[in-house]
Amino acid sequence: MPGLSGILPVWLARKLGRVDALHCWFGVFDRFTPGGAEDYLEGVLRTPASQHTLPRRQSNVILPFFPRPVLLQPYEDEESLRVTEQLALRYSRWYLALDGEHLARALETARVLPREAAIQAVVEGATLDVAGRHAWVNFLIQVDGVRQGTSTTLTLLLRAPGIAQLTAACAAACAKWLLKSPEPVLGLAAECIDIEAFMLLFCQEQTGIDIELFDRGIEHLNEMSGGAL
């Protein structure tokens, strides 16, 4: 989700004195509007020139707190590259965590389809996957680095009942912050917004969205939640 997917890694990284690596897994199991599908495709297909080779897709991956195994689709977009640069990271990896065969298939065919047809394929694929099941959104973000001279790993888990609720909560927090800003703001949220002030507003909203912080990586969290990588 553009904006929040840039803000959260920066907010988490600031809890360390030095950050060496960042890992992000964004899972959205919900229906898409055409506008939402277009944003989704921007990250998956319209990738800027990369300085390195992206890892391959991985299937049947178990992530902590995700309800089912997922397919991991690596990606880079303008936001992820700017966050990596902003944090001066040596290493970062960004993944879409896909639950459902129809959306995954739609993303594959979208690479050779005209823009409007690709958007429609994503809308239809997501609708088929979610039919008769509960929607969910899970973000997992892990940072590795040093805090007070000690090697430290922190992981953030965000859970939401759906993309509409998450979008509304993010938009509301942004609007409240902008109303208090002395000057107009234009640019990527992770670079332009006061992240601490935004997160205070975002976490105050009673929206059914939960954020938890852990002082360990996803391997240990998988053991806690009953899974294994």
Residue spans per domain, the chain = 4-223
Asked whether 21 and 91 are in contact (CB, 8 A), the reply is: yes
Q: What is the CA radius of gyration of the chain?
A: 17
User: How confident is the model at residue 123, as a pLDDT?
Assistant: 96
> Tens digit of pLDDT for each residue in 13-68?
999 999 999 999 999 999 999 998 988 887 666 655 555 677 888 999 999 999 99
- Calculate the average pLDDT of the chain: 89
Q: In Å, how far are 96, 137, 181, 193, 196 from 204, measured between CA atoms?
A: 27, 19, 19, 17, 12
> Half-sphere exposure of residue 163, counting CA atoms within 13 Å on the CB side?
18
CA 60 to centroid of chain Cα atoms:
19
Type of residue numbered 135: A
Q: In Å, how far are 9, 67, 78, 93, 141 from 6, measured between CA atoms?
A: 6, 24, 10, 13, 11
Percent of residues, the chain, with pLDDT higher than 70: 90
> Tens digit of pLDDT for each residue in 99-139?
999 999 998 898 899 999 999 999 999 999 999 999 999 99
Sheet containing 70-74: give its strands across.
58-61, 70-74, 91-98, 18-29, 136-147, 150-160, 210-214
pTM for the full model?
A: 0.90
First to last CA, the chain: 25
Burial of 56 (0-12, 13-18, 19+ CB in 10 A): exposed
Domain 4-223 top-level CATH class: alpha beta
> Half-sphere exposure of residue 217, counting CA atoms within 13 Å on the CB side?
13
Listed in sequence order, the residues at least 6 apart from 74 whose beta carbon sits closer than 8 Å to its beta carbon are 54, 55, 56, 57, 93, 94, 95
Asked whether 8 and 158 are in contact (CB, 8 A), the reply is: yes
User: How confident is the model at residue 224, as a pLDDT?
Assistant: 74
